[in-house]
Each structure stands twice: as structure tokens, then as C-alpha cells.
Amino acid sequence: MHLARIALLGLALTSLAVACWLTGCGGKSDTPAADATDGESSAAVDSTSSAVDSVPKAKAPVQPVDPIVVLHTSAGDIKLQLFAEKAPQTVANFLRNYVERGFYEQTIFHHVEPGMMLIGGGFTVDLQPKPTKAPIYNESRNGLTNKKGMLAMIHEQGAAHSATSQFFVNLQDNPDFDFQAGAEEDTFGYCVFGKVLEGLDVVERIAGQPTTAQGDFTSVPVETVMIERAEELR
């Protein structure tokens, strides 16, 4: 309030000085008194400028930083960029409930759809499920699409909001996996929440090896590939 009053006073004095100069109020004079008035007006202008300059400037909004996670696997490292702004609930679930708790350690890539997707994040080397947190809301209508190299959540067939820990990497563009707006009912598809930043060659090497059926699992890589550690870099 004090700075504002100073600024308003300074502006008023400046306006008055300019008006007097334009209208010739007091007559033209080269007397010292006129010079003193001009000096006071200049001081008022300088005071106003200083007051305005001293007002704190608004800071630019901080841009969100996408989290980076590295999956250290027995076949090599896979670096992931997560889209926290586009899929906030999904990214928070992935990080807080699983990565930060060490859940993904000693889990394997347990299913390959050749040329389509590589799935991991839910089963141990002996194909036993690990206990998960509660399912999350499907954010697949976020505008992100299942293109090659994109990371998405797995959910149960016919249960759009059932995803927990399992994820997959798209081995090709899979538009049928995207959210589809329907005239009567929407099809949620699979929520994309990240992408492979580095290590897509590792993903393709894992997905390119022979597979075998084991019990209820129809397409398990013959050579077990384990996630040894999931590390959040930022």
C-alpha cells in the first residue's frame, strides 16, 4: 500500500508539471525558482521510477518435469520418460506404489505378442503374481496414442479400470489400443503414460527371442529376462 501511494503521488506530480509546461501556467521565466520547480518534478519522476522498479516481478510458472526411470534388466537398461502432466494418476501409481517400493525387482517380462507388445511388471521368475495395490482409473482419453516405443498399462479384458502394476511396450503402432469415442459408449483402450527414451533395441531383443507356453501363460520368452532394479533418476 505504501509503494502504491508513492507511485500515485509521483504520477500526480508529474502530470501537474507537464500540464503547467503545456499551458504556460506562471509564465515563462528563467528565474532560479523555476529551475527549482523543474528539479523537484524530476526528483518526483525519479522517485516514481524507483518505486515502480522496486515492485517484485511475477515469476514465470514452473514447467513440470517429466520423471525418468531406468529399468535395469538382465538383458540391458531401458530408460523411460513418464508423462506426469498427461497421465498424473497413472504415473503416480507407477512411481509411488511400485518403483519407489522396489516392487519391480525380480519380476520378469512374462508375455510377448510378436510384433505387437512386450508385457512385464507383475510376475516372479516362477510365474507367481506379486501382491499389488488397488486398481487405478483408466486415463486413456489423455490424447496419447499407442505408437511404437510408447509405454502403456495393462488392464483386464472387459474391465477398463483394473490396471495395477503390469505395463507393456508397444512394438509397433497399435491404434486399436487407443481410447475410442463411441456414439453410445466409449472404449477406454490402454492408457499410455510414458515412452522408451533409450533401450528400444533391448526391448526388441527381448521380444524377438523364442517363446514357450507355461501353464496359463501362452507366450513366455524362453530365456528369462528379469527386471533387477527400477531406478527413478528424477
> Strand locations in 135-200, DSSP E?
150-153, 167-170, 192-198
pLDDT value, residue 183: 78
Q: At what angle do helices 32-53 and 2-23 cross, to 10 degrees?
A: 140
Assign 219 to helix, strand or coil: strand
pLDDT tens, N- to C-terminus, the chain (234 residues): 343 343 433 444 344 333 333 334 444 444 444 454 555 555 554 555 555 556 566 666 656 689 999 999 999 999 999 999 999 999 999 999 999 999 999 999 999 999 999 999 999 999 999 999 999 999 999 999 999 999 999 999 999 999 999 999 999 999 999 999 997 889 999 999 999 999 999 999 999 999 999 999 999 999 999 999 999 998
The cell for 87 is 497421465
First to last CA, the chain: 42
pLDDT value, residue 115: 95
pLDDT value, residue 185: 87
Cβ atoms within 10 Å of 71's Cβ, excluding its own: 26
The cell for 9 is 503521488
pTM greater than the 0.85 cutoff: no
Cβ atoms within 10 Å of 203's Cβ, excluding its own: 27
CA distance 142 to 198: 23
Q: Which among 132, 196, 129, 193 has a CA at the least distance from the CA of 165?
A: 132
pLDDT value, residue 50: 56
pLDDT value, residue 234: 85
Q: Are strands 107-113 and 167-170 parallel, antiparallel or unpaired?
A: unpaired
The cell for 172 is 509397433
The cell for 109 is 517380462
Cβ atoms within 10 Å of 68's Cβ, excluding its own: 16
CA distance 211 to 5: 78
